[in-house]
Amino acid sequence: MSTIGVDTPRVDGPAKVSGTVQYAADIQLPGMLHAKVLRSIYPHARLVSVDTSAAERLPGVISCLTRDGLGDAKPYYGSVLKDQPIVAIDKVRYVGDPIAAVAALDRQTAEDALELIEVEYEPLPAVLDVDLALRPDAPVIHDRELEIASSFIDPDAFHFKQRSNLITTFHVEQGNVERAFAEADELFDSTYSCPTVQHGNMEPHSATATWDASGQLTVYTPCQNPSVVRDQLADMFGLRPGQVRIVVPYVGGAYGAKTHLRLEPLVAVLSRKAARPVQLTLTREEVFMTAVRHACVVRIRTGVKRDGTLVARQVESFFDTGAYAHTGPITSKNAGTVSAGPYRIPHQSLTAHCIYTNKPPAGPYRGFGVSQVAWAYEQQMDEIAHALGLDRLGIRLQNLVHEGDRIVTGETLSALDLEGPLREVARQIGDVDIARKPTQHYERGSRRPLVRGRGIACVIKTTMTPSTSAATVRLDSDGTATLFTSSVEMGQGARTSLAQIVAEELRLPVENVFVTLPDTDVTPYDQSTSSSRTIFMMGRAAQQAAGQVREQLLAMAGTALEVAPGDLELDGGDICVKGVPVRRVSIPDIFERTFGRPRGGCLSASVVNRAVGGLDRDTGRGKSSAFFFVGAAGAEVEVDPELGIVHVLRLVVATDVGKAINPRQVHLQNEGSMLMGLGTAIFEEMTFADGQPTNASLLHYMLPSIKDHPREFRSIIFERPHPEGPFGAKGAGEAAIPAIAPAIANAVADALGGTRLHSMPMLPHRVLAAIREREAARE
Amino acid sequence: MQTFVLTEPSSLNNATKLLASDPDARPLAGGTALVILLKHRLIAPSILVSLDKIKGLTGIREGPDGLWIGALTPIQDVAAAQAVRKHYPILAMACRLVANVRIRNVATLGGNVAHADPSSDPPTALAALGASVECVGPHGPREIPIQEFLIGSYETALEPGELIRGIRLPSPISDARGRYLKFTDRQSEDRPSCTVGAMYRQKGGKCEELRLVVGAICPVPTRMVEIEATAVGQRLDPELIDELAARAGRGVPGITDPSGPAANVVRVLVRRILDDCVAQENA
């Protein structure tokens, strides 16, 4: 029986549910010290002096780290640009920027020591949004020449400006938008914005570093890309990659927040200085200062024929990447390529800027920039439908991209089905014709009714391209297989799905396949557990490696049994003669016949799976993605027009995942996306006062609660197989999320007769302000 | 380094003595608020006096002159108690809306009142019901009306060493209707940013008695006495309710902008609660 398409239970489910899984912060090493970080209280300041002498005298303090104690470590790091210092060198660039760190016998002592560190700042004017950052007289946040990093990206993939708050601009175009605008019947021009939000990863960042006598550095960290983190640390310390070992335990949620170097450089330097293992685990407040999603302003202009045909679209997005670039240049580029949405539009001009501000560094967040541009283009689709009196499903179907279409980057779309998901969510959510009257519903005691509305949205997203994943499969003499992989298990179920793939190739029961957690001393290279690429890239590598082991096993069995290997097949841990299932020998027996007793030996194979592509930095053309995610969402909301409260009653998503290796896990990915998307649509926003975060705690930063969970909550899977994915599978983690917030916003606007919120989240005071503004405009 | 001594006295007398012995001693009831304050280092107690081992601080008792609720009664138990649901439904409504069930099972009614967090549900309902707080301290017991007990944001009339033993509710107003409404401007499990509690009784279509309390948006639950006085003897038709609601929006201490969002929330909630009280009565 096939193990593909089966709801195999999580291999790590019982251990996680019973609380026996060890997470990074649970790691205890002999002699381990605990670190705490002193962080900047200014958004932008020159660092005049840092004095740790009093802190060093505090009993229990073993070592303090400042800019003067970095030794021969390269002081700056970054996944794209080496702009981020291990601890502040000459300036601090956001509230929370690390200035110094203390390693002590316990956490409390380390924390007490922070209060004894004297810091002298010379405050500088701060740049707190993208508009201010781009003004000619704006203070320049990075005023030195930045080195381009090479262990994660092709350094030639971007044009970087130096000594500028504008880091890089991606641009791609086709046709002539200005001429097409002039010829269009109607022109729509609107600006949408998204605030800084945080991932809400349940497990905080934590890293534990230790150096051995030979000079090997080991770091235990819940990072999403251990191979790259290894290379980045090796580069920082002038080591060969083999001298750095990254061990990744189970990760308690990441969503992009744990990509690339975060705490690892600081604990590694501190551990070397203290000559002891050092562990740093962030508080929740520090998590908010360590990883956030890009705030973004999107201006979108669209020229339309009266019948709803889109003829031209110009999109300019401004991504606020905060104080350090992190993956911002990639985020803005990838979002920029698809910022016109999943539509056939002959004339397009798409521009995406990546901009420094004095805010926490923004990096990957589930959806990778597409959520911000989809918030704009899917709301504008409804604006157009509303203005032209067109059906909202109809206008989308009329303009939708299909397989075989050439898109703006010049590549041809294949293996994707968006029409199916879009039609299905519209069917499930019910009539979305704008001519339909929104339903009204009276609460007890309320004289003005609560109003209900419906909305839909659909999106397209790329995956990291080019990229590389390697897998090794080993079959042992007892008939069990082990997959050696650097893919990270962060709650998405990679270990289970990858086990299913290997089991299928070797016709083994799933419980006879083990999947490692990453340990770069043992597990081969993987670029990243992100971009929803694990099943497509690592799954394919694992499938091929397992396939090679299968061929080796059949050859070995053929020799042992004196049968042509082509006449043999595998079945449930046995080798049988094709068509004669009663003639079977177990795998252990074949090993015994080959290698003798006691049983030993193993078979193994390694495969490197490389997705080629990339976009030309001058033209924006090339191959943007190894595969395309598509998804659609539908929402029904109830709005209290007197208090401004939005409640999502129903939420439906449908995604094309190629092939669901484990359908239950795909549904869970979609459901997680639905709640994250709902949170950003109506609750989540990091707030700042003069650059100071004012709600950096779970008391004040609002994630959706169980009471906010829609009563009806449905995920639907479509499967248009991809020829390069294992069993046709693409990715599942992010296909739904960018569609959620605009679907909810479209439902809110539907409920309010066209009153639309251009800024997320749709908090009560914003809803009321939008209603008032509309009423004022009518009077 | 932050350290404290945890003590578990078995009598109220010992607990109050311990608390009176050290200005930095703090009582520990359910701990749902205290632990957050500790974690954020907003308090640094020398002694934590756990009230867990003291007998007689939990339970709900009906008597001839009302209801007594032990200070350590979990909020969930208050919400679920037959006596509360039957005779003081607005307290049950308010308690049911506190945070989530995990918190309600641990947090206590006495702790909630002693914490005096303005953004909280029970105090508004207790004020509308005319509750009083039964305290014991080094100078003996005393009973303080809830409106005098709550002095300000996180401020109470408790003297050093004094503890809450229980909450007393007077006999229910016969034939009165009560309602409680809560507004959260963020997610649904969030603490309220505005609460309204009302008790209403009418005869012959006219208001005989009204108690109207607004909370959370102001430091302590506030009785809207002028509005109550205006309403008595009147037929509360929609126009009058609109007017009373608009006045309520302007009349809450601390609300300076009569057309701002805070005044709007009060106005809408007061209008809805009065509409509902009248509708229930006329049903």
CA–CA separation, A642 vs B252, rounded Å?
Answer: 19
Instruction: Indicate the burial class of B22 (C-beta count within 10 angstroms; 0-12, 13-18, 19 or more).
Output: middle
Mean pLDDT across chain A: 96
B24-38 average pLDDT score: 94
Largest distance between two CA atoms of chain B: 67
Q: Report CA Rg, chain B.
A: 19
A776 touches chain B (CB under 8 A): no
Q: Give the tens place of pLDDT for each residue, B203-257.
A: 999 999 999 999 999 999 999 999 999 999 999 999 999 999 999 999 898 898 9
Candidates B189, B265, B275; nearest CB to A705: B189
Among B41, B121, B188, most A C-beta atoms within 10 A, so best to mutate, is B188
> Judging by DSSP bridges, how do beta strands A45-51 and A118-123 pair with one another?
antiparallel
Token pair recorded at residue B264: 């709007």
Burial A547-563 (b: 16+ CB within 10 A, else e): bbbbeebbebbbebbeb
Looking at the complex, report in whole angstroms how far the Cα of residue A696 sits from the nearest Cα belonging to chain B. Answer: 12
Contacts of A704 in chain B (CB under 8 A): 187
Write the secondary structure of A309-329 as one string of H (helix), E (strand) and C (coil).
Answer: CEEEEEEEEEEEEECCCCCHH
Query: Which residue is listed with tokens 């979305």?
Result: A432
B259 touches chain A (CB under 8 A): no
Give pTM, 2 decimals: 0.96
What pLDDT is attached to residue A445?
A: 60
Residue bearing the bigger pLDDT, B109 or A431: B109
Q: Are B144 and B135 in contact (CB under 8 A)?
A: yes
Q: Which of A253, A327, A239 is nearest to A520 (CA)?
A: A239
Pairwise CB contact (< 8 Å): B272 & A683? no
Q: Give the tens place of pLDDT for each residue, A726-757.
A: 999 999 999 999 999 999 999 999 999 999 99
Q: Which of B246, B251, B239, B242 is nearest to B264 (CA)?
A: B246
Among A638, A702, A766, A775, most B C-beta atoms within 10 A, so best to mutate, is A702
Q: Are A226 and A518 in contact (CB under 8 A)?
A: yes
E-strand spans in A552-644? Answer: 568-571, 574-577, 580-586, 602-611, 614-615, 622-623, 628-640
Strand-pair partners of A454: A636
Residue percentage of chain A with pLDDT more than 90: 94
Q: Give the tens place of pLDDT for each residue, B52-80.
A: 999 999 999 999 999 999 999 999 999 99
- Strands lying side by side in the sheet with B163-170: B60-63, B66-70, B163-170, B132-137, B140-145
Does A469 have pLDDT greater than 90? yes
Scanning every residue of chain A, which has its alpha carbon at the shortest distance from the alpha carbon of B179? A445
Scanning every residue of chain B, which has its alpha carbon at the shortest distance from the alpha carbon of A761? B186
Contacts of A768 in chain B (CB under 8 A): 261, 264
Pairwise CB contact (< 8 Å): B187 & A446? no
Q: Where are the alpha helices (DSSP H) in A1-106?
A: 13-17, 53-57
CA–CA separation, A202 vs A464, rounded Å?
Answer: 25
Where does the pLDDT of residue B46 fall: very low under 50, low under 70, confident under 90, or very high at 90 and above? very high
A622 CB contacts (<8 Å, ≥6 apart)? A409, A410, A411, A613, A614, A615, A616
A108 touches chain B (CB under 8 A): yes
Q: Are B243 and B271 in contact (CB under 8 A)?
A: no
The H or E element that residue B89 is part of is helix B89-96
A763 touches chain B (CB under 8 A): yes
Rounded to the nearest 5 degrees, what angle is found at the Cα of B112, between the Cα atoms of B107 and B115?
120
What pLDDT is attached to residue A546?
A: 98
Scanning every residue of chain A, which has its alpha carbon at the shortest distance from the alpha carbon of B261? A765
E-strand spans in A25-96? Answer: 33-39, 45-51, 61-65, 76-77, 81-82, 84-85, 91-92
Pairwise CB contact (< 8 Å): A642 & B268? yes
Does A304 have pLDDT greater than 60? yes
What pLDDT is attached to residue A443?
A: 64
Q: How many C-alpha atoms does A722 have within 13 Å on its Cβ side?
A: 29
The conformational region for residue A493 under phi > 0 = left, psi -120 to 50 = alpha, else beta, is left
Contacts of B189 in chain A (CB under 8 A): 705-708
B272 touches chain A (CB under 8 A): yes
Instruction: Indicate the burial class of B233 (C-beta count within 10 angstroms; 0-12, 13-18, 19 or more).
Output: exposed
Q: Give the tens place of pLDDT for each residue, A181-231.
A: 999 999 999 999 999 999 999 999 999 999 999 999 999 999 999 999 999
Looking at the complex, report in whole angstroms how far the Cα of residue A620 sits from the nearest Cα belonging to chain B. Answer: 41
A775 SS3 class: helix
CA dihedral of B62, B66, B69, B71, whole degrees rounded to 10: -140
Does B1 have pLDDT greater than 60? no
Pairwise CB contact (< 8 Å): B261 & A765? yes
Write the secondary structure of A41-52 as one string of H (helix), E (strand) and C (coil).
Answer: CCCCEEEEEEEC
Pairwise CB contact (< 8 Å): B187 & A708? yes
CB pairs under 8 A between A and B: 56
What pLDDT is attached to residue A779?
A: 80
Contacts of A702 in chain B (CB under 8 A): 186-187, 190
Q: Check if the interface score ipTM surpasses 0.90.
A: yes
A6-33 average pLDDT score: 96
Contacts of A707 in chain B (CB under 8 A): 100, 187-189
Q: Give the tens place of pLDDT for each residue, A494-527.
A: 999 999 999 999 999 999 999 999 999 999 999 9
E-strand spans in A519-612? Answer: 568-571, 574-577, 580-586, 602-611
CA–CA separation, A450 vs B97, rounded Å?
Answer: 21
What pLDDT is attached to residue B188?
A: 82
Looking at the complex, report in whole angstroms how far the Cα of residue B277 sits from the nearest Cα belonging to chain A. Answer: 8
Token pair recorded at residue B125: 């309902």
Cβ under 8 Å to B: A residues 62-101: none
What pLDDT is attached to residue A77?
A: 98
Token pair recorded at residue B31: 């701990």
Does A582 have pLDDT greater than 90? no
Does A165 have pLDDT greater than 70? yes
DSSP A779: -
Residue bearing the bigger pLDDT, B78 or A777: B78
A260-267 average pLDDT score: 98
Token pair recorded at residue A520: 């770069």
A492 CB contacts (<8 Å, ≥6 apart)? A534, A665, A669, A733
What pLDDT is attached to residue B3?
A: 84
Pairwise CB contact (< 8 Å): B272 & A768? no
A112 touches chain B (CB under 8 A): yes
CA–CA separation, B158 vs B113, rounded Å?
Answer: 11
What pLDDT is attached to residue A135?
A: 97
Q: Give the tens place of pLDDT for each residue, A666-718.
A: 999 999 999 999 999 999 999 999 999 999 999 899 999 988 999 999 999 99
Pairwise CB contact (< 8 Å): B261 & A112? no
Looking at the complex, report in whole angstroms how far the Cα of residue A116 sits from the nearest Cα belonging to chain B. Answer: 13
A701 CB contacts (<8 Å, ≥6 apart)? A198, A200, A288, A684, A686, A695
Token pair recorded at residue B245: 């609601």
